[in-house]
Structure 1
């Protein structure tokens, strides 16, 4: 049976390691979309688009989908329409949710002493109390740990999984806007946040990327829309496609910050510009669209959101293929999903398979 580890149980950061997303993957956890308020007036095409996302994952990796009652029935219906049925590699798990953004309320998986896999369960309050209700989402991390048969570590901070990006060897990219936030962690300092991240994730170098997030972002700047490791030597950073884009100043500031850091860190890192699609609005509201919101499925596969912006989509896929030789880079249409203010990485929670040493997994592509 899974146990719960107290804060004291994470007293030494050397006991834990936060693996990179390109390390072997046990399964991907999803939550079936059902909250129409997430896509006001535009929900109808979302389940079918999500089913295609499930299919893309399922081609190489087991999938676990949180859904209950009528939501589970809707999930089965849409999967069956594209020829997918439940099996050992495609399971619908009876857990309720409020929304589909499981990256943010699902656990962060780490490896502890003796390579034991542990689920770090952060406290979740819907991105600083922006959306009610969030009770089911807040409870889902513990439920996933229980179903997976893993020990659970209380993260001790109110935050979301999309705020974290690691190379699996002790380096972490984060944006302070979604961590040092009075709506999430009132009275908690940057130093205290750093200490807790060190304790729970085993990170030794934290890079605070604080330039800005894409317009329309409601997370206060999750890093998974801004910058991602491809491997220990390469990072892609979202930049605006033109200087006229309102995102240009903030995203350029992120790029400059990362370039400065890349000259100081070891091993050395190259920062690559990954242009976003042209700005898009739905009913007058900006839609955050970033190719950084990709999902790695182990060493040899990557699912990349596309946005029906032909030239931009082609450029992003070509660049990622060039930077990740030997990795199958697959585009997944997120035009409809993105109106909910997230894409593939936001809507997934990957569970690593086994502990590997950082040296063994140093070349993720």
Structure 2
């Protein structure tokens, strides 16, 4: 459980009407998606073995690690479950939802729970995979294409954010799923790299914080240059934007995913300078972030989202000593799930994000119970792109 703020129950629909389930991709759509991928990754495949599709690309489904009480005791699951139900309801309208259950008992329990909540169970696949925690962005496999467009599991090392939490089960998730899915696993465990620690622009740029990657509690025997080579070889990045970050500021050592996200290959979504300062970003890092260049040395365009107007207050009335970010949203096939905090800025953020994704429905999900553990929506989701074969 992330006990300190990191960068990762009622539903609010901002615009439009929830669409029905999306049918499987037609052959023409598969062909168009494949051609688009090839075009986007042509430059990267000269240097990288694999391509990680952008989050907004078509998904086969989304992976969730269902909360349980085996690691942190009674009450952990009960505090979080409403969020998982809402995510599952929303995502299953347009894609499959793949749920990792700790054991068969938990799987049966989750099945009955979702059935009673009116979820279309035909859109849900269950996998019995023991987990320590819920942070799928950091611990679930990253799905990539090889040069022949075969889908594979990329398994970077995970050590509990520098051995701060239990991680034995989480470190084995990719191995477990590789066997159950019959999908090849790319073993990169020699490098610790959490999914929430980096952003890719889809055109050869890698954005991250040194405090969460080159930190000695992650990769004590690797230099930054060596880590860059791993990323270049396996993710195709040739342009590296490294912020210093803030070691020990939170359990993740300052993941990038709470305050910066690529909208596309030319545009970064972040916060205004004063909000970045409130978030704890140093002046040096703010300068680096707001003056970054892409792989062709062209400056990025910027779009800004607010943070909450006030420090987050839980339903119980307990006040957290930090404000909430909206940048840690998740893009599904037909919806965008946005973290909400019962704050006056929720509406502003939801409407701003709706304008960015007019072909999807923005759904605000109250994440306060999750946020007190240190995370938001993207932190607990991981996309699986469509198969191109």
TM range (shorter): 0.7 to 0.9
Change in Cα spacing, 1:43 to 1:51, as seen in structure 2 (3 Å) is same
Aligned to 1:297: 332
**Judging changes above 3 Å, is the alpha-carbon distance between structure 1 residues 208 and 242 closer, same or farther for their aligned structure 2 residues?**
closer
Q: TM-score, normalised by structure 1?
A: 0.83
In 1, are the aligned partners of 2:144 and 2:152 still within 8 Å (CA)? Answer: yes
Q: 106, 110, 125: which is aligned to 1:71?
A: 106
CA gap of 1:58–1:128, structure 2 versus 1, over 3 A, is same
Choose from 248, 263, 270 the match for 2:301: 270
Match of 1:29 in 2: 63
Aligned partner of 2:37 in structure 1 is none
Secondary structure of the structure 2 residue equivalent to 1:303: strand
**Aligned partner of residue 19 in structure 1, secondary structure:** coil
Are the equivalent residues in 1 in contact too, given 2:338–2:364 (CA < 8 A)? yes
- Partner residue of 1:362? none
1:44 and 2:75 aligned: no
Change (3 A) 1:343 1:242: closer
Q: Deviation of residue 39 (structure 1)?
A: 9.3
Q: What is the distance in 1 between the residues matched to 2:222 and 2:313? A: 35
State the shift of 1:85 in Å: 5.3
Provide the C-alpha distance between the structure 2 equivalents of 1:36 and 1:93, rounded to a whole number of angstroms: 17
What residue number does 1:7 align with?
Answer: none
Structure 1 residue aligned with 2:115: 80
> In 1, Cα distance between the equivalents of 2:76 and 2:130?
22
Q: Which residue of structure 1 lines up, in the alignment, with residue 224 of structure 2?
A: 190
Gaps of 5+ in 1: 1-10, 357-365
| Aligned partner of 1:280 among 288, 312, 316 | 312
Residues 301 and 308 of structure 1: CA distance in aligned 2, closer, same or farther (over 3 Å) = same
Which residue pairs with 1:6 in the alignment?
Answer: none
Look up the match of 1:150. 183
Give how far 1:270 is off.
1.0
> Does the CA-based 8 Å contact 2:65-2:99 persist in structure 1?
yes
TM-superposed CA distance for 1:209, in Å, is: 2.8
Distance 1:110 1:338, change over 3 A: same
| Structure-2 residue corresponding to 1:361 | none
Structure 2 gap ranges (5+): 1-44
Seen in structure 2, the aligned counterparts of structure 1 residues 43 and 64 have a Cα distance that, compared at 3 Å, is closer
After TM superposition, the score normalised by the length of structure 2 is 0.78
- CA deviation string 1:215-254 (max 9, x = no partner): 97421122211211112222111458769x743x517654
User: Is 1:127 aligned to residue 161 of structure 2?
Assistant: yes
Matched position secondary structure for 1:320:
helix
Give the number of aligned pairs. 339
Q: Distance in 2 between matches of 1:280 and 1:307?
A: 7
Question: How far is 1:331 from its partner?
Answer: 1.6
Q: 1:330 to 1:62 in 2, by over 3 A?
A: same
CA contact (8 A) 1:127 1:159 kept: no
What corresponds to 2:350 in structure 1? 317
Separation (CA, whole Å) in 2 of partners of 1:264 and 1:25: 26
Superposition deviation, residue 99 in structure 1: 0.8
Task: Decide whether aligned partners of structure 1 residues 242 and 203 sit closer, same or farther in structure 2, where only a CA change above 3 A counts.
Answer: closer
Q: Does 1:342 align with 2:372?
A: no
**Kept after mapping to 2: 8 A contact 1:279/1:287:** yes
Q: Specify which of 211, 224, 231 is matched with residue 257 of structure 2.
A: 224
Distance 1:221-1:40 versus aligned 2 partners, 3 A rule: farther
Query: Is 1:160 equivalent to 2:194 in the alignment?
Result: yes
Q: CA RMSD in A?
A: 3.0
Following TM superposition, by how much is the alpha carbon of 1:79 offset from its aligned partner in structure 2, in angstroms?
1.4
Given that 2:198 and 2:208 are in contact with CA atoms closer than 8 Å, whether structure 1 keeps it comes out as yes
| Distance of 2:135 and 2:263 partners within structure 1 | 22
Q: Quick check: 1:288–1:341 contact (8 Å CA) kept in 2?
A: no
What is the distance in 1 between the residues matched to 2:202 and 2:182? 23
* Alpha-carbon distance change, 216 to 274 in structure 1, aligned in 2, over 3 angstroms: farther
Structure-1 residue corresponding to 2:289: 258
